[in-house]
């Protein structure tokens, strides 16, 4: 009995919160003229780094993808690594907003909004990479089926085209889901704002929401349906990303377990990014009452579970290479572990496989700064994982005469780091102008918790 009630010892909401305090606390961050100095510093740095991205893109468009480290052997370099990394990060937002909604996990309420924001910003970065990787981004519309003058149609048997559909659907649904969740909160901002212009702007986005019971009923049903649709979608997106690899015949890619391996890796890295963002944000904006230690602990548990699946996949990769008896598969693993990229391989095993084992300890899960360091490590580890998957399979493929050594150039790195600046710029803007926590769901939570208090 004591064990089963234990999770309640740290509540999902700080004590003494009412409908009014929740509203005032969250809108207070937005509806103020005083922008914290820390916000300016953070946004300023992120914005400068974003300039690096724009500069790298300008050089890229002027000179072409020859400025990258790609060659005929390793034709998928940083662009695809970064694409998979960013898409993966996005998946935690959808998982939190859709899957945990279907499972009625109340603790998701305070983190789903910025996790969804993170999804959209991450997927925006992800979408950039395949487009510029084509070399002629101004012709990106060729990817879509339309009656063209060439009388050509896309090849629907190719996973690369499946990816186009999966990613565009994912962006569209994520954006709409996010916006639908924001409508009642826009209405709150409209009603709370003193400034006429501000009220007008939020009012436009609120579409005239007035909290009518009939509207809520229709709205809740639609949200539930969207969650039910987004759940298989998020699983399908990273499965399709893995098909880009698995459907080919390249050693190390051509395996059936790639889809579940990729999906759990995506959730693993996504939760790491949510923790990386949530821990400083809750400290900076003093949101400890809403994002409690319980939230951090639950996210750490999800990270531990998905991390174990990922670690299992690393072990199975080695096992399959041996069990297949295929010399190319065997060589691929041997080359990964001892070849020129071996330090990266062992670093990813360390960051994704070994370090997360610390999460078995409650003390670690309850200590934000340790969690923060672990989550940064996982972010790095998951980037290295994609690097290893893409590069070690390609650089020494079937024909030794094509073997090569791949490394990112300055422009590879500057673009990648620049997208981090873009991501954090958007996060900072989001924190300043939109409610970082879903207010109406928090009020629902206050309502439910007060009821539960009466029953016992």
Partner 1 sequence: MSESVYGLMARFGTPEEVVEATRRAREAGYKKMEAYSPFPIEELADILDFKPKIQYLVFIGGVLGALTGFALQYYASVIAYPLIIGGRPFNSWPAFIVVEFELTILFAGLTAVFGMLALNGFPHPYHPVFNGKDFNLVSRDKFFLVIESADPRFDRERTWAFLESLHPEEVTEVHP
Cα(259)–Cα(264) distance, integer angstroms: 9
Task: Report how far apart, in Å, the C-alpha atoms of 15 and of each of 4, 21, 101, 289, 450 are.
Answer: 22, 11, 23, 8, 11
Cα(424)–Cα(281) distance, integer angstroms: 12
> Cβ closer to partner 1: 105 or 169?
169
> Cβ closer to partner 1: 151 or 401?
151
Rounded least distance, CB 177 to partner 1, Å: 8
Other Cβ atoms within 10 Å of 127 Cβ, number: 18
> Cβ closer to partner 1: 6 or 455?
455
Rounded least distance, CB 25 to partner 1, Å: 12
Rounded least distance, CB 281 to partner 1, Å: 23
- Residues 41, 46, 47, 50, Cα dihedral to 10°: 170
> Cβ closer to partner 1: 210 or 456?
210
Rounded least distance, CB 390 to partner 1, Å: 22
Cα(56)–Cα(424) distance, integer angstroms: 17
Sign of CA dihedral 448, 453, 455, 456: positive
Rounded least distance, CB 445 to partner 1, Å: 9
Task: Report how far apart, in Å, the C-alpha atoms of 159 and of each of 72, 141, 146, 174, 239 are.
Answer: 21, 17, 18, 22, 10
> Cβ closer to partner 1: 26 or 60?
26
Question: Rule CB under 8 A: which residues touch partner 1?
Answer: 18-20, 23-24, 145, 147, 151-157, 159, 161-162, 165-166, 168-169, 172-173, 176-177, 179-180, 184, 187-188, 190-192, 203, 207-222, 225-226, 229-230, 232-233, 236, 240, 243, 440-441, 443-444, 447
Rounded least distance, CB 221 to partner 1, Å: 4
CA within 13 Å, CB half, 107 = 15
CA-based nearest residue to 403, from 348, 343, 328: 328
Rounded least distance, CB 17 to partner 1, Å: 11
> Cβ closer to partner 1: 74 or 439?
439
> Cβ closer to partner 1: 210 or 363?
210
The tokens for 442 are 């928090």
């Amino acid at each position: 009995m004591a064990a089963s009630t234990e999770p309640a010892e740290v509540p999902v909401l700080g004590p003494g919160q009412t409908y009014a305090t929740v509203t005032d606390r969250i809108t207070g961050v937005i509806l103020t003229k005083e922008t914290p100095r820390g916000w300016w510093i953070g946004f300023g740095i992120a914005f400068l780094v974003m300039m690096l991205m724009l500069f790298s893109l300008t050089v890229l468009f002027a000179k072409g993808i020859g400025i990258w480290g790609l060659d005929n052997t390793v034709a998928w370099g940083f662009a695809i690594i970064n694409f998979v990394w960013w898409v993966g990060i996005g998946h935690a937002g959808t998982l939190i907003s859709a899957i945990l909604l279907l499972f009625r996990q109340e603790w998701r309420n305070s983190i789903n909004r910025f996790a969804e924001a993170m999804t959209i910003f991450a997927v925006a970065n992800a979408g950039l990479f395949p487009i510029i990787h084509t070399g002629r981004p101004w012709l990106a519309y060729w990817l879509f089926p339309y009656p063209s003058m060439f009388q050509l149609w896309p090849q629907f048997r190719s996973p690369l085209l499946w990816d186009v559909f999966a990613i565009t659907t994912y962006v569209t649904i994520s954006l709409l889901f996010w916006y639908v969740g924001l409508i009642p909160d826009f209405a709150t901002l409209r009603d709370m704002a003193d400034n006429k212009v501000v009220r007008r702007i939020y009012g436009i986005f609120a579409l005239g929401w007035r909290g009518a019971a009939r509207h809520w009923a229709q709205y809740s049903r639609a949200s539930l349906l969207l969650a039910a649709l987004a759940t298989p979608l998020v699983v399908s997106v990273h499965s399709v990303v893995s098909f880009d690899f698995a459907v080919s015949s390249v050693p190390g890619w051509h395996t059936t377990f790639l889809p579940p391996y990729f999906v759990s890796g995506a959730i693993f890295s996504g939760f790491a990014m949510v923790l990386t963002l949530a821990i400083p944000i809750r400290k900076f904006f003093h949101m400890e009452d809403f994002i409690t230690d319980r939230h951090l602990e639950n996210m750490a548990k999800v990270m531990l579970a998905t991390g174990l699946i990922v670690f299992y996949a690393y072990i199975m990769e080695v096992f399959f290479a041996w069990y297949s008896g295929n010399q190319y598969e065997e060589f691929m693993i041997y080359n990964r572990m001892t070849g020129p990229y071996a330090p990266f391989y062992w670093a990813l095993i360390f960051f994704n496989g070994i370090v997360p084992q610390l999460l078995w300890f409650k003390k670690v899960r309850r200590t934000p700064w340790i969690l923060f360091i672990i989550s940064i490590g996982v972010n790095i580890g998951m980037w290295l994982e994609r690097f290893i998957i893409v590069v070690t399979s390609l650089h020494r493929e079937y024909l030794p005469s094509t073997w090569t050594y791949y490394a990112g150039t300055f422009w590879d790195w500057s673009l990648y780091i620049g997208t981090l600046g873009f991501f954090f710029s958007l996060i900072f803007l989001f924190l300043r102008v939109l409610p970082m926590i879903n207010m109406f769901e928090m009020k629902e939570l206050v309502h439910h918790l007060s009821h539960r208090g009466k029953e016992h």
